[in-house]
Amino acid sequence: MLLYDLEGELFFGAAPELDRCFNQLKQRTKGENIRFIVLRLKRTRNPDMVSLERFDHFLHDMETRGVTVLLCGVRPALARAMANLHFHDWLPADRVFPEEEEKFSSTLKAVRHVYELLQQNSCDHCAHNDLVGTNGQPMYYLV
């Protein structure tokens, strides 16, 4: 799993940087055999058509390559834009985690979901590992 934090304006002027970021993520998935990417988007603002088109291409490309991308910290403006462009027609709801009041809660939910998915498709060794720490409490992931 790869956890990546994006921040800044998602407007047409940032498209070249967004492309570089997505290309780096693609290369890492190939080189490191990554099957899941969690994109933290809480600190992104003002999505426009150009950036949403880049997201669309990236998400579809990763799906084709067998990499599952989860979006967490999705702010209301981005959620509305994604809804207006019918992302919900092809992007499963369990891959989008809206921004929440509690710090890191959407990230935690996304990471835990990845671990659930990993356990469903894991080897015998991984199947014995769970999300409980040595003290018997659920593991807490802080990014």
> What pLDDT, in 10s, does the model give residues 21-61?
999 999 999 999 999 999 999 999 999 999 999 999 999 99
What's the 3-state SS for the chain? CEEEEEEEECCHHHHHHHHHHHHHHHHHHHHHCCCEEEEEEEEEECCCHHHHHHHHHHHHHHHHCCCEEEEEEECHHHHHHHHHCCHHHCCCHHHEEECCCCCCHHHHHHHHHHHHHHHHCCCHHHHHCCCECCCCCECCCCC
In words, the CATH class of domain 2-128 is: alpha beta
Categorize the per-residue pLDDT at 143 as very low, low, confident or very high, splitting at 50, 70 and 90: very low
pTM of the model: 0.81
Q: pLDDT for 97-125, tens place per residue?
A: 998 877 668 989 999 999 888 887 555 54
